[in-house]
Copies of this chain bind each other. A is one copy, B any other.
Amino acid sequence: MMAQPTPYVLNRAEKMIVDLLSQHGALSRTDLAMRTGYSRAKISSAVQALIERNILEEVGDEGSRGGRRARLLNFSSNVGYIFGVDVGATSVDIALSDFTGRILQRFETPADVRSGPDVLLGMILEQMLRMLEAAHLVPEQIHGIGIGVPGPVEFSTGLLIAPPIMPGWEAFPIREYFPRTFPNAAVIVDNDVNVMALGELRRGKNIKAQNFILIKIGTGIGCGIVCQGQVYRGSSGCAGDVGHICVDYNGPTCHCGNRGCVEAMAAGPAIAAKAMQAAKEGRSPILQELMENNHGLLTAKDVGIAASRGDRVAVSLIQEAGKLIGEMLAGVVNFFNPSLILIGGGVSNIGYQLLSSIRQAVLARSLPLSTRDLRIEYNTLRGEAGIYGAIYLALEHIFTCASTTPTNFDE
């Protein structure tokens, strides 16, 4: 494993300052003191240290609020840039951003993840260079690359472990693909749900919760966990694998070998399979018509279309999926007591019935105290959560905190 470029090691106050600036952009010392809880004197000395290291600079005055105008601080213009990459099953999204998460260049394209790492990463690299050129930047100015991928990642190494929909990517050294081109960039890889949860944590609209989960419903069902204001990955890095929680001990067999996993009963393919069954049995003329127009196949999206046209079978399929997902979530709520559940992923758009059925099932099965202040909503950044998460994945690695206790890891 190639060594990663050394991140900036900061003390706790400095780390809190750069985190706030990366989330909010330019702030005054007074703002920083208020938001961190540190004294004005402590903030001033931390800011001074960051200016001396060329990380921050003063960028002008705050708008007048009556009284003396405060100087605003932001990242130094030469501190560098970030690439965020959101790899989906059938698409790639690349963003070039500054250290405040402001996107300078964006490139989205359909792409099949099954074409393998060499083809896909080659295409990504080529695009990155074009985007740099368009922004009049050079590769040396890139200090971090954050990559979200649709499969299980061993976070410490950035390697994919038995990814079901990414043949050829198993244990491929993604991180080592970039340093030849971007010598100053740390490369961080994580799975797509963790990345989406991070995106919501840092840039979500009105997200104040520090303990929340993000459920992604698509081909599979996965979950990103934010615990005490940080993405929680668990002891082996596979926390949040809720797709294989059982919701029916006599249910159908899942590809994992167990029966009644929520993923086997309520993710996109399960909804599509039930819809095709209903169409074949003549229970839904609308689904039948959609299937005939699509070479005998249906997707979860078609079920959403049929539901929006008033098809009762489609509506009940969506409600059934919502109920099963809600029953799984009820257990998660009893255990984890989050204040917020965000619902995302392609299948989450299937119809409003999904969210209301999820809510109903959670309220019915969780304990009253744990749902008293619980909100269940669509994820606030919708399709943008992944790309912002990828940017912040890199940013979080660039600035690390010295005083993290070294005993803070498992055996």
Contacts and interface: CB of A to CB of B under 8 A. Distances in A.
A237 to B, nearest CB: 7
A232 B247 CA distance: 26
A32 interface: no
Interface in A295-331: 327-328, 330-331
Interface in A348-401: 364-367, 369-370, 372-374
B223 A36 contact: no
A410 B407 CA distance: 26
B403 A13 contact: yes
A338 B407 CA distance: 16
A246 B365 CA distance: 8
A245 B331 contact: yes
Interface residues of A, number: 67
Interface in A219-261: 223, 225, 227-230, 232-242, 244-249, 256, 258
A236 B337 contact: yes
Interface in A16-59: 16, 35-38
B37 A209 contact: no
Given A16-B405, A334-B242, A372 B236 contact: yes
Nearest to A233: B337
Given A258-B365, A331-B246, A232 B228 contact: yes
A208 interface: yes
A210 interface: yes
A335 B245 contact: yes
A43 B225 CA distance: 34
A410 B340 CA distance: 10
B410 A239 contact: no
Contact of A229 (B247, B256, B405): B405
A217 B10 CA distance: 44
Contacts of A293: none
Number of copies of this chain that the complex holds: 2
A367 B241 contact: yes
A304 B234 CA distance: 35
Given A16-B405, A229-B405, A334 B244 contact: yes
Given A335-B335, A337-B235, A369 B161 contact: yes
Contacts of A372: 236
A406 interface: yes
Nearest to A232: B227
Contact of A367 (B223, B229, B238): B238
Contacts of A244: 334, 365-367
A111 interface: no
Contacts of A69: none
Interface of A: 12-13, 16, 35-38, 152, 161-162, 208-211, 223, 225, 227-230, 232-242, 244-249, 256, 258, 327-328, 330-332, 334-339, 364-367, 369-370, 372-374, 403, 405-411
Given A240-B337, A247-B249, 9 more contacts: A13-B403, A209-B410, A210-B410, A227-B232, A234-B336, A239-B335, A241-B367, A242-B335, A246-B331
18 contacts: A37-B406, A38-B403, A161-B369, A211-B234, A227-B228, A228-B230, A235-B337, A235-B373, A236-B337, A236-B369, A236-B372, A239-B337, A241-B335, A244-B365, A244-B366, A245-B331, A246-B365, A332-B335
